[in-house]
Structure 1
């Protein structure tokens, strides 16, 4: 859709005005051909297996790397950002081992719900002013939002692979509006990481094989959210009390010193999710889990995966008072929960008690993965299981 210079200028002014009114902290424009290197980098990420079990990334390679493959009619891409910066260092809770550490972005309403309605409102006003067509995307569609945001000038992809802004640090939610309107693109942002590698050094599991490259299979966010199976043994102690996601690489970024805490009330953390007691979370059955996490992104991983995460944190806590609830969870209906409970219990009770429970459990346990957890955790497998 051809747009005159005057009309394009007026349309851009409307977009900027409506974006601010809707609570977005930054907005910029780019073109669908502005990320020519992104497809190759994404293909390399998948070829190396760094995507782990996230098969949808491999399945949508073409559409994800080329905006016009997703929607051939797109002429301009509007990228909008919303600051969700915390008002404290989110890593402080890691010293409170009896409590869970939840990633900042998940401490309140699902940002998809917060942003998508507002993007649709802005998109509707674009169509009302300029005609044409629009499509709105927030994270769940095969859109490479971070490279597009960099091309639009909102920031740059840091060595931790997340977007970094000189105004907002590493704390930005991103959304896009694809439009058939032709808008003047903004200038791409330069990389300002320099020689800094604070984010890489902060990673507890060494998930960055090189700057600007992430092996998701080693990332705590992947392990606690996307991973559907047991947490691999090599990462369990390193996870500490992180029960949903990990903010360490984001929080370590020096550019955060320029970021303001999110002022949007709907993005403020729920008090009960800032530092929730592990003892309470271990007792969540499916109904209680769904009720407690209504409207939260945490709800999407389901009760079993979440309690699995909490059990790993419990095993790392050294809190003997949690052993009673963990003993109960050894009989949980979910093999995923039972396996994690075995590991947690092995870390908190005397070897003699654990060996007795293992011998009894191995007589009735039907799941091979759970059996293996018992056998691996036995203090003296040969004598105890004789």
Structure 2
């Protein structure tokens, strides 16, 4: 037995299909009551990792431990139903011929009265006691999702695996259902591994995010740290729109229209990418065409020409082209700001919100 405080621990999981490595040496641990999100684009290995933990698929190598007990390795695999793991998927998979009560009770064992008490307890928590005798076709999408959650929690699983469980809900309903689900899972003390390709969902729900790409976990950490200290350019771009200025290093410095940027550790002559988000572009309305002047926190102001502007709800998106005629910069501005095309303006960028990476082509 492995001495560990983790509710779930996976060690060096690997899975290949037709000679291609879909999950490559993935390790992860989750504590009781913790929500960890596997976040990444479609095809990066998230759902395959989930299926191996659930016991639906078998890894080629690596180990899976639950509360310090080995449940699967290269030669041994505990049956899925004995692992103490609950499952929720995009398809709620409710039994159409069963009532809400019978759906929730489906995985329970023991005396009928005890099962009924557990069903009623959970339906009260998800606010659906009034629908205890209803059938799935009589429920809305949000109500079906909450019944699926109650059914998954009924056997008191130690771990809950969730694969895109909210993607079938409309946007207005989704936020409320996610928050209710998270509150109930925390109350039950369940360790949760959530799979999603939506950064906003991961940021909203997770205590920790594991960012996957090409079968590997490329970065792990709290949402704040992942967002503000990304591992590479692709990690920045996965969470938001980005601007990229390309330059080259010379004496650990990189020249840009916005002044010089530090490029520590980058060899001379190597290409670098200076990356920043549109919300960190500042439009200098007071410069009035006087030319570039250095500022303490925002570097040097650079002249740019408005290409187009669009209002997108709570903010405006403005596209600029720099004086070099090639570099395109996008800026977001709160409220309505719609300058006419061909208007010259001066831009600065927040130095403390820029990321500098050596170009991968080097």
Q: Same fold (TM over 0.5)?
A: no
Normalization by structure 1: what TM-score? Answer: 0.24
Normalization by structure 2: what TM-score? Answer: 0.25
Select the structure that is richer in strand.
Answer: 2
Higher radius of gyration, 1 or 2: 2
Select the structure that is richer in helix.
Answer: 1
